Amino acid sequence: VDVIDASMQVPVIVDFWADRCAPCKRQVPVLEEVGRLLIGRVKVGRINVYRNPEVTRRYGVKGVPHLMVVKEGQVVLELVGDHEFEQLWKHLEGIGL
């Protein structure tokens, strides 16, 4: 949960996911690649919606996978569903990452 903290020095990509979610599993290698390419410029965190229902409710997550990009404590991008690398990369470029 500290990945959504306003004191973070770099933007954070938060992946809300669930154990039995096939699209969530497909999203993992995409996020790993993004993390490798943006090392030092972003952090990537994952939140299991079943183990963290309070956080999930607080951020209005209703389906998974649900990605949020948080800068200085503010959600600047939300994406629902799994995304191919190229799609996700374009969204991230669009917000200046």
Catalytic residues: 21, 24
Torsion of CA 23, 84, 42, 94, to 10 degrees: -130
Q: How many CA atoms lie within 13 A of 43 on its CB side?
A: 15
If one counts every other C-beta atom within 10 angstroms of the C-beta of residue 83, the result is 19
If one counts every other C-beta atom within 10 angstroms of the C-beta of residue 8, the result is 17
